[in-house]
Amino acid sequence: MTIEKAIALAPAERAVNLIGSDLTEKSLKLHLEGLSGVDAVGLEQRAAGLGTRSIKTTSKAWALDTIIKLIDLTTLEGADTPGKVRSLAAKAMLPDPADALTPQVAAVCVYGDMVPYAADALGSAWSNGSDNGINVAAVATAFPSGRSSLPIKIMDTKEAVANGADEIDMVIDRGAFLSGKYGVVFDQIVAVKEACRRENGTYAHLKVILETGELNTYDNVRKASWLSILAGGDFIKTSTGKVSPAATLPVTLLMLEVVRDWHLLTGEKIGVKPAGGIRSSKDAIKYLVTVAETVGEEWLQPHLFRFGASSLLNDVLLQRQKLTTGHYSGPDYVTID
Amino acid sequence: MTENDKAVSAKAPSFLDYAPAPESTSVLHLKKHYGLFIDGEFVDGRGDAFTTISPATEKEIASISNANNADVDAAVAAARKAYDRTWSKLSGADRGKYLFRIARLVQERARELAVAESLDNGKPIKESRDVDVPLVAAWFFYYAGWADKLDYAGLGPNPQSLGVAAQVIPWNFPLLMLAWKIAPALAAGNTVVIKPAETTPLSAMIFAEILQQADLPKGVVNIVTGAGDTGQALVNHPDVNKVAFTGSTGVGRAIAKSVAGTGKKVTLELGGKAANIVFDDAPIDQAIEGIVNGIFFNQGHVCCAGSRLLVQENIHDEVVDRLKARLSTLRMGDPLDKNTDIGAINSKAQLDRIRELSNVGEAEGAERWTADCAIPENGFWFAPTIFTNVSTSSRIAREEVFGPVLSVLTFRTPAEAIAKANNTPYGLSAGIWSDKGSRILAVADKLRAGVIWANTFNRFDPASPFGGYKESGYGREGGRHGLAAYLESAGWAAPAVTKGGKK
């Protein structure tokens, strides 16, 4: 056994407060290894239990509107064009043309190069860094694999922010995480967070994607969640949507438990974003229940919880129409984006 | 809280006040009066009929016949006739067919059974729907499979059925306890007279309809309803060969005395005061869930409930804080609402006992904390309660409360945990929470309890034997071991005397 050299890490504020000013790879590792384990059977049982809540009538109506307000309407394809992004932005502003009372979504989520088109298409509905309106979120840092050098990831982020992105969805280096180099993952998040700084000193919100489908174990998810928060993430996000499995209820429950523990410890509120694989209203309502019963209802606001989804919105709109009119319509009564 | 937060919380109604989601009672087709089920027919009892009520509302559900000694005689005679003429002559495969048929009918009428159970017992519909009734079907499926394989039950070739089984069951899992008793008895070739608890006869009456629907030969299962005297008449009846009882240790002791020397085979599943041991390396969030499930499942009306929490001293405060936060999210109320977590206490008598013991706990110096629940006006309710600073000599740490009351004690080392866990006259179950597999095995090895759960609690499976040490009773139910309670070895020396086709 050799004594590891104390490699100093970037002095991110949260980590320094919790672990100490002599922050090193070693001290970070010891801290993460001291976290309580996760029993997979028990976690999945609890998630399944939350999934049996029966949300009816007025509660359902509130839930459906809330889901819409929490959606990051997403297109992340090689085939994305300015036209496709404009169409998505239009849908974000007016999800249901037949019902003007339908709320708007939280954000549109696109690749970095599409940010100007998204901002332009949103026009006056664009929040542009303010608390009101629809945000533009950009994926960055060599999304989805994250297999690139740090300078390129930083450039990727800076460019998106300069283009007007209100939120950055970065990916962690899963290779580094799985080989035990927690310090590398940590330093990268700190660097990307710094790259989110705008010229006026404000920051674009940073969502840290763990890609839980590649981390594979719940113990890893807890460690990676904690690490991402320590490094300065505003949100922790499950998945890119490009790896299966993407978001699952047990994984999201676990991340919410981390966020709850962090809040108890520091008073600070971190957001959670399950992304990928949530397609039906029924599933999305299970997530709302899980949020409300784990961290509290306060989290059901766009600055603390999001759904990363594309097809979810239309199912919610169909359910919403059913609730308003009393009968089911069909897929031709909601717009494709 | 930002201005934005305030605006939201002021405007919106609380999402967590979920709108009512009651399970419909339209699936129930209840009669105003239920008779005894003897020899395949409903007949009126000769005692004074009694009323079964819903403990959540105190409203009357139906009137139920009361079996007197003559009715018990008739039921035992019907069971004897069915044993001699029909059931003992059927092949195992044919008995299995009936059990499979019953299992399928239970599944078909699952919703109806679940609603009846919640109505009559007070347990939340999510438990009767997701736990009780599915397990009932599973028990019949499991023992149906054994009916033609008794040679492999570990009792040597050609084991023999006993004859007529007298079975008395409790009110906490009315239908599930019925299944635990009837399924192995029938699979092994016995016939049955069973007495459901006085406060919860309803699901047994629907089960009798299922037996008619399944075309089970008359008299193979007879159901007599009534109170303690009916049960006494049944277990003391000279023509029963086997007595199976689940209930309190006091009654169990009386039964053991009364059948001593009669040659009746006996199994008893009695009380418990299970230790749920939480080590400091436990998966904490799951341990909290396990503690909740261990003692607040079914309002704590569980003989194997984890009613003594033994928590390692260095995490005591954290566990108690997390537990209180979790208990505050439990929803108490209408058992038929699909979002209800905690239902009603089954009876006034039981509520009085829980109250009495809780008051004793306080008087003995333990610190009481009760979840903040709105208590409905009518019915019998007791909010989830935990006691901290409980000493090992306190009555709430010694006696079975059989309600939603948890006593929290601490330990310092595994040896102390084991000693404290075993320091009880009972020995039905125990739980261990640790991330370290070797510790779980080492501790489990030294606990004197019939069932030990590791990193989970209150999980049941028909393939797993269940039963206790010491004052928790004797004999095992479930699994291959459960068959031994209803069979006799034919003996290796004597050639097998087959009463008809046994296999």
Instruction: Inspect the interface and report whether the beta carbons of A298 and B339 lie closer than 8 Å.
Output: no
- On chain A, the residues whose CB falls within 8 A of the CB of B8 are 301
Contact indicator for A288, A249 with CB cutoff of 8 Å: no
pLDDT digits 0-9 by tens, B210-239:
999 999 999 999 999 999 999 999 999 999
- Count of Cβ atoms closer than 10 Å to residue B38 Cβ: 26
- On the question of pLDDT at A328 being above 60, the answer is yes
B123 Cα to chain A: minimum distance (Å): 16
pLDDT band at A4 (very low <50, low <70, confident <90, very high): low
| Nearby residues of A78 by Cβ (< 8 Å), 6 or more positions away | none
pLDDT band at B7 (very low <50, low <70, confident <90, very high): very low
pLDDT band at A211 (very low <50, low <70, confident <90, very high): very high
Which residue of chain B is at minimal alpha-carbon distance from A257?
B285
pLDDT at A7: 84
Q: Rounded to the nearest 10 degrees, what angle do helices B284-296 and A40-50 cross at?
A: 60
Q: B289 catalytic, yes or no? A: no
pLDDT band at B503 (very low <50, low <70, confident <90, very high): very low
Q: How far apart are CA B480 and CA B88, in angstroms?
A: 20
Out of B12, B14, B126, name the one closest to residue A52 (CB): B126
Side-chain-side CA neighbours of residue A322 (13 Å): 15
Strand partners, B64: B34, B50
Backbone phi, psi, residue A64, to 5° = -65, -45
Which helix (DSSP H) or strand (DSSP E) does residue B74 occupy? helix B69-85
pLDDT band at A337 (very low <50, low <70, confident <90, very high): confident
Of the candidates B128, B289, B304, B138, which has an alpha carbon nearest to the alpha carbon of residue A45? B289
- On chain A, the residues whose CB falls within 8 A of the CB of B20 are 56
For chain A, domains (ranges, CATH) are 36-325 (3.20.20.70)
Instruction: Inspect the interface and report whether the beta carbons of B16 and A297 lie closer than 8 Å.
Output: yes
Mean pLDDT over the full length of chain A: 96
pLDDT at B247: 96
Of the candidates B104, B30, B17, which has an alpha carbon nearest to the alpha carbon of residue B61? B30
Which residues of A form the catalytic set?
169, 237, 273
Instruction: Inspect the interface and report whether the beta carbons of A52 and B13 lie closer than 8 Å.
Output: no
Side-chain-side CA neighbours of residue B294 (13 Å): 36
Instruction: Inspect the interface and report whether the beta carbons of B282 and A36 lie closer than 8 Å.
Output: yes
Q: Is the CB of residue A55 less than 8 Å away from at least one CB of chain B?
A: yes
Side-chain-side CA neighbours of residue A190 (13 Å): 17
- On chain B, the residues whose CB falls within 8 A of the CB of A41 are 286, 455-456
- Strand B242-246 vs strand B308-312: parallel, antiparallel, or unpaired? unpaired
- On the question of pLDDT at B501 being above 70, the answer is no
For chain B, domains (ranges, CATH) are 33-270+468-488 (3.40.605.10), 275-454 (3.40.309.10)
A325 Cα to chain B: minimum distance (Å): 20
Q: What is the mean pLDDT of residues A257-284?
A: 97
Instruction: Inspect the interface and report whether the beta carbons of B286 and A52 lie closer than 8 Å.
Output: no
For A194-232, the three-class secondary structure string (H helix, E strand, C coil) is: HHCECCCCCECEEEEECCHHHHCCHHHHHHHHHHHHHCC
What is the side-by-side strand order in the sheet with B60-64? B33-34, B60-64, B50-53
Burial tier of A101 (Cβ tally within 10 Å: 0-12, 13-18, 19+)? exposed
CB pairs under 8 A between A and B: 84
Query: Six-digit token pair at B292?
Result: 């909740």
Q: Is the dihedral of CA B41, B43, B45, B49 positive or negative?
A: positive
Contact indicator for B25, B17 with CB cutoff of 8 Å: no
Q: How far apart are CA A125 and CA A313, in angstroms?
A: 19
pLDDT at B492: 52
Q: Is the dihedral of CA B375, B377, B381, B386 positive or negative?
A: positive
pLDDT at B12: 52
- On chain B, the residues whose CB falls within 8 A of the CB of A42 are 283, 285-287, 289-290, 455-456
Q: What is the mean pLDDT of residues B448-472?
A: 97
Q: How many residues does chain A have?
A: 337
pLDDT digits 0-9 by tens, B240-255:
999 999 999 999 999 9
Q: Is A102 helix (H, G, I), strand (E, B) or coil?
A: coil
Q: Is the CB of residue A180 less than 8 Å away from at least one CB of chain B?
A: no
- On chain A, the residues whose CB falls within 8 A of the CB of B333 are none
| Nearby residues of B406 by Cβ (< 8 Å), 6 or more positions away | B291, B295, B296, B306, B307, B309, B384, B385, B386, B387
pLDDT band at B304 (very low <50, low <70, confident <90, very high): very high
Instruction: Inspect the interface and report whether the beta carbons of A300 and B286 lie closer than 8 Å.
Output: no
Query: Six-digit token pair at B246?
Result: 């689940």
| Nearby residues of A159 by Cβ (< 8 Å), 6 or more positions away | A112
pLDDT digits 0-9 by tens, B131-190:
999 999 999 999 999 999 999 999 999 999 999 999 999 999 999 999 999 999 999 999
pLDDT at B490: 85
- On chain B, the residues whose CB falls within 8 A of the CB of A298 are 5, 9
A300 Cα to chain B: minimum distance (Å): 10
pLDDT digits 0-9 by tens, B353-403:
999 999 999 999 999 999 999 899 999 999 999 999 999 999 999 999 999
B20 Cα to chain A: minimum distance (Å): 7
B283 Cα to chain A: minimum distance (Å): 5
The whole-model pTM stands at 0.95
**What percent of chain B has pLDDT above 90?**
94
DSSP secondary structure string for all residues of A119-161: HHHHGGGB-TTSSSSBEEEEE-SSTTT--S-HHHHHHHHHHHH
pLDDT at A129: 86
pLDDT digits 0-9 by tens, B258-270:
999 999 999 999 9
ipTM for the assembly: 0.94
Fill in the amino acid letter for B98: Y
DSSP conformation class of A10:
-
Q: How far apart are CA A302 and CA B47, in angstroms?
A: 66
